[in-house]
Amino acid sequence: MRSIDVAQRLREKHAELGLERQADMARMLGVTEATVSRIYSGKRNPGAVVVIRMLELWPDVFSADGGER
């Protein structure tokens, strides 16, 4: 079984959506901009709130193809 890099998937979605600011992603996830910044920099692991919200927004985000078909 392969581990999933949640922060990497979040960065990929950020780019895919064309978001310019971390604040935009934070708003979508319902967390602070500081939380997103710390996840991106590796200073914090994404918690359950972030993972659950990612699944709500993008149900296939953790599939083998990252939801891309």
- Predicted pLDDT at 69: 47
Q: How far apart are CA 26 and CA 69, in angstroms?
A: 25
pLDDT in tens, the chain (69 residues): 566 799 999 999 999 999 999 999 999 999 999 999 999 999 999 999 999 999 999 999 988 655 554
Question: What residue spans define the domains of the chain?
Answer: 6-57
| Entry pTM | 0.83
Q: What is the CATH number of domain 6-57?
A: 1.10.260.40
- Predicted pLDDT at 3: 67
